[in-house]
């Protein structure tokens, strides 16, 4: 994975995690709905910027490792 996509990858992973956290929250407020919409739009745009398709094993493993690390960090908060 090229270094130039490192920032895009970090943003993608964080937005994916935020979307999962929003799915776990109760209720369906207007704020939650709007935020989910913008996160999905962000993910679609970042998919275009990434060199490899999201279905790639290498990219999938990278996303999984980063997601796990972020989850572990959030558990400590």
* Tens digit of each residue's pLDDT (9 = 90 or more) over 20-48: 777 887 888 888 888 888 888 877 877 77
pTM over 0.95: no
Number of domains in the chain: 1
Domain extent, residue 34, equals: 3-75
**CA–CA distances in Å: residue 16 to residues 9, 10, 12, 21, 65:** 10, 10, 6, 9, 13
Give the pLDDT of residue 36. 81
Position 6 pLDDT exceeds 80: no
DSSP character at residue 4: G
Position 73 pLDDT exceeds 70: yes
């Amino acid at each position: 994975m090229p270094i130039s996509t490192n920032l895009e990858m970090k943003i993608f992973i964080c937005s994916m995690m935020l979307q999962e956290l929003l799915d776990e929250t109760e209720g369906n407020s207007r704020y939650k709905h709007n935020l989910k919409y913008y996160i999905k739009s962000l993910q679609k745009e970042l998919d275009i910027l990434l060199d490899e398709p999201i279905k790639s094993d290498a990219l999938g493993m990278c996303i999984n490792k980063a997601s796990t690390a972020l989850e572990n960090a959030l558990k400590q908060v």
